[in-house]
Chain A
Amino acid sequence: QQQVKQSPQSLIVQKGGISIINCAYENTAFDYFPWYQQFPGKGPALLIAIRPDVSEKKEGRFTISFNKSAKQFSLHIMDSQPGDSATYFCAAVLNSGGSNYKLTFGKGTLLTVNP
């Protein structure tokens, strides 16, 4: 059972364009939603994260939009740059503030930004 569904699998965007990656979840008990960025041969690194009581969070060119009623959230990368080319993972956390913490990842989106 895939608890976090991510789309698209791959995305090609021109430099300066907007990249949009979408995720959907089923379990309403998830209470924290991070996004990770991974470059080839490296481990994922936290990019930006949001709690379900917030509808939008922006950090520089990266924005998370969160729709609690639809159980969907998305990552928007404005003014996409070739250096943004990487694999992006959405994730959802259970028990973010407790000892029974569990993080579930989406399957990832390979973003290519053409110069």
Chain B
Amino acid sequence: DGGITQSPKYLFRKEGQNVTLSCEQNLNHDAMYWYRQDPGQGLRLIYYSQIVNDFQKGDIAEGYSVSREKKESFPLTVTSAQKNPTAFYLCASREGGRSGANVLTFGAGSRLTVL
């Protein structure tokens, strides 16, 4: 089955620790995205990558970092600088380019709780 796999599904972290969320896709999509979801806030864009070895900040990038070394992988690191990291994190991908699909395909999400 083609899709997006996010891991872990649940993660607990102590304050001051960095944590990395995994996102892998086998859809051969060019573009990948990370969103943060909080109750009543909708989905807010953290980072996105249109192509391997390139990525851009979204609307709420502070306290986060990403890498895009492989087309199928786009890990997100939540650093200790992120003041309020407890949230539901969603990874998405899109075919990209002028002929690409106009919509995003989402993974099942990772729920991070800071203790």
Contact = CB atoms under 8 A, between A and B. Distances in A.
Contacts of A98: 98
Contacts, number: 56
Q: Categorize the interface residue count of chain B.
A: 20 to 34
A42 interface: yes
B103 A49 contact: yes
A115 interface: no
B102 A89 contact: no
Interface string A57-81: 0000000000000000000000000
B109 A42 contact: yes
B108 interface: yes
Interface string A25-41: 00000001010100001
Interface string B79-99: 000000000001010101110
Interface in B16-67: 31, 40-45, 50
Contacts of A108: 40, 42
A98 B30 CA distance: 13
A12 B62 CA distance: 37
Contacts of B102: 32, 34, 49, 93, 96-97, 101
28 contacts: A6-B42, A41-B108, A42-B109, A43-B6, A43-B90, A43-B92, A43-B107, A44-B43, A45-B106, A46-B104, A46-B105, A49-B103, A89-B43, A93-B102, A96-B102, A97-B98, A97-B102, A98-B98, A99-B96, A99-B98, A101-B31, A101-B50, A101-B96, A101-B100, A103-B45, A105-B42, A107-B40, A108-B40
Interface of B: 4, 6, 31, 40-45, 50, 90, 92, 94, 96-98, 100, 102-109
